[in-house]
Amino acid sequence: MKTKILIAALVGLLVISVVSAGLIVSKPEQLGRGGKPGRPEKLEQIIFVHPVAPEKPGKPDKPPGKPPKEPEEPKDNTYYELWGGYLDGTASYYINPNVSLVTAGDPVVAVNNSAEAWDVVTADELFNCAGITAKSWYAEDEQNTISWVKFIPRDYIAIAVMWYDPATMIIYEFDIVFNTFHNWGIDPVKKDRAFDIQNIATHEFGHPAGLDDVYDEIYGELTMYGYSSKGETKKCSLEEGDISGAQELYGE
């Protein structure tokens, strides 16, 4: 698979809002926008990147006597943030399942389960799998694509890209790309061995659903918490805050 490269301007950014020309190197062939009825001629682009959870600092040498343990800040599972965009109707997507797994399983099923996690908590059907595709990477081509591609920076697990109308904030297109610099698998995945597809995909589908990343550690149990680790599966199911955000936009 041809390697696609993120240019240096993307490094270190967590959310980037740019016009549809993009800040990431695209495929050599430029696909036309087409003429879907009701679709504005020019859309803006927003990119969410999903970084690997930062390593915690090493423990200092243990001093004589056991120091008192500092109380941990309680988790808040009710919080959510919206980035402003939303879906107007069901978004059909295609999956390119070309990925090597370290554990047996069907990546198509895992991705569909991730989308369904959002559908079951809202009045609207947000996502529908329309089939398999050979397309990869991302492009404004009137197809919502889920794919696996090797790209840099390596500490990005995945990116979610949306094209939306800034006047109405309606999302007209999205693509999700998982980084094959990392190993991928399907639960059970041993710690430090691979990223679980359903865990990461559920988070990524939250962005076209309209939810933003949150990074404070007190929100660490939320599906929309912006960091993930290998072997993690807690994002497969939505927490109260994730559900409340989706229901604010689409009803119960």
| Helix 197-206 and helix 107-119, axial crossing angle in degrees, nearest 10 | 40
Walk along the chain (252 residues) and give the pLDDT tens digit of each residue. Answer: 433 334 333 433 333 333 333 334 333 233 333 334 589 999 999 999 999 999 764 444 544 555 555 566 789 999 999 999 999 999 999 999 999 999 989 999 999 999 999 999 999 999 999 999 999 999 999 999 999 999 999 999 999 999 999 999 999 999 999 999 999 999 999 888 999 999 999 999 999 999 999 999 999 999 999 999 999 999 999 999 999 999 999 999
Tell whether the torsion through CA atoms of 129, 112, 251 and 74 is positive or negative. Answer: negative
What's the confidence (pLDDT) of residue 69? 57
**Which architecture characterizes domain 8-53+75-250 according to CATH?**
3-Layer(aba) Sandwich (3.40)
**Residue 150 contacts residue 1 (beta carbons within 8 Å):** yes
DSSP letter assigned to residue 174: E
Cα 31 to chain center, whole Å? 23
Domain boundaries along the sequence of the chain: 8-53+75-250
Residue 178, beta-bridge partner list: 148, 158
pTM to 2 decimal places: 0.82
Only one residue has tokens 């993690």, namely 232
What's the confidence (pLDDT) of residue 74? 86
